[in-house]
Amino acid sequence: MKSSLFHDIRLVFRKEMKSALRFRAAWAAMLMFALTTLACVSLAVQGGGLSPRLLAALYWTVLFFAFMAGIDRVFEAEDSAGTLLALRVYAPADAVLFGKLLYTWLLLLVLAVPLTLAFLLLMDVTVVTPLVLFLLVLLGCWGMAAAGTLVAALGLGASVRGSLAPILLMPLMLPVFLPAIFVTSGAFGAEAASLSFLFGMGLYDAVLTVGASVLFPHLWYAD
């Protein structure tokens, strides 16, 4: 009766997917928030050509705020359903962290696809290096998912959970955002930024993931 970590992560991930597919409020809220922001921005700048750097900053800002609209649900949904205790008793901390992290990453990627297409269409942007943009979205979303899952776990039991997330997330996300904006502006036609930024993002994502896996068990069991 022994199960592997991979097996446990898969179970937590599948449980998250099933629950999310049966209650689409989180997905819908994130998507609607992002589309509304995008529509406002595109109407506001109608006709005015924006620089690739500004477009890149707008793109990541829209993604970030869409993410913020749903990230607190990672653990809040468990808390409000009263299932945290059952999860603590039955699931190893690492399985919870990585199962939820993978689910959040997938959620962000699924959101990023229509958002990116809508952004390119509404803002009339041409992508000169689609592969770079693809890699950026993969790495950027992983960074957001890792930081977001950790911050959501930090908020467990905090009475000011709603205001805690944006305060803690911003400094954690800056090392993801700044290189992402530099490289995205290159992908949008500005002078190409060094791809070492991509490597740096990957490295930061790895550090964030390892840091989360070290910290999470202490948060999970409320030491």
Partner 1 sequence: MEEIVFQDVSQSFQGRTIFAHRSDVVKGGCITAVCGANGSGKSTFLRLCAHLLLPTEGSVSVSLGGEELSREILLRRLSLVTPELRLYPRLTARENLDFFLGLRGITLREADYEALLARVGLRPEALRDTWAASFSTGMCQRLKLACLLASEADFWLLDEPGANLDAEGAAMVLREARQAANAGRLVLLATNDPREEAAADEVISIP
Binding of residue 88 to partner 1 (CB under 8 A): yes
Three-state DSSP at 68 gives: helix
Binding of residue 86 to partner 1 (CB under 8 A): yes
Closer residue to partner 1, CB minimum distance, 214 or 222: 222
Q: Residue 158, class by beta-carbon neighbours within 10 Å (0-12 exposed, 13-18 middle, 19+ buried)?
A: exposed
Binding of residue 130 to partner 1 (CB under 8 A): no
Report the largest interatomic distance among the alpha carbons of the chain, rounded to a whole angstrom. Answer: 64
Closer residue to partner 1, CB minimum distance, 82 or 171: 82
CA-CA distances (angstroms) from residue 57 to 53, 93, 102, 183?
Answer: 6, 35, 25, 11
Q: Which residues in 117-131 are b (16+ Cβ under 10 Å) and which e?
A: ebbbebbebeeebee
Binding of residue 2 to partner 1 (CB under 8 A): yes
Specify the amino acid at residue 130.
P
Q: Which stretch binds partner 1 (CB under 8 A): 15-23, 117-125, 144-152, 195-203?
A: 15-23
Looking at residues 46 to 65 of the shown chain, list those that interact with partner 1 (rule: CB under 8 A): none
Binding of residue 210 to partner 1 (CB under 8 A): no
Minimal distance, residue 109 CB to partner 1, in Å: 23
Binding of residue 159 to partner 1 (CB under 8 A): no
Residue of 17, 19, 128, 161 that binds partner 1 (CB under 8 A): 19
Contact criterion met (CB below 8 Å) for 52 and 135:
no
Contact criterion met (CB below 8 Å) for 188 and 125:
yes
Minimal distance, residue 13 CB to partner 1, in Å: 11
Query: Among 80, 66, 5, which residue's Cα sits nearest to residue 32?
Result: 66
**Residues making contact with partner 1 (CB under 8 A):** 1-3, 7-8, 11, 15, 18-19, 22-23, 81-83, 85-86, 88-92, 95, 221-223
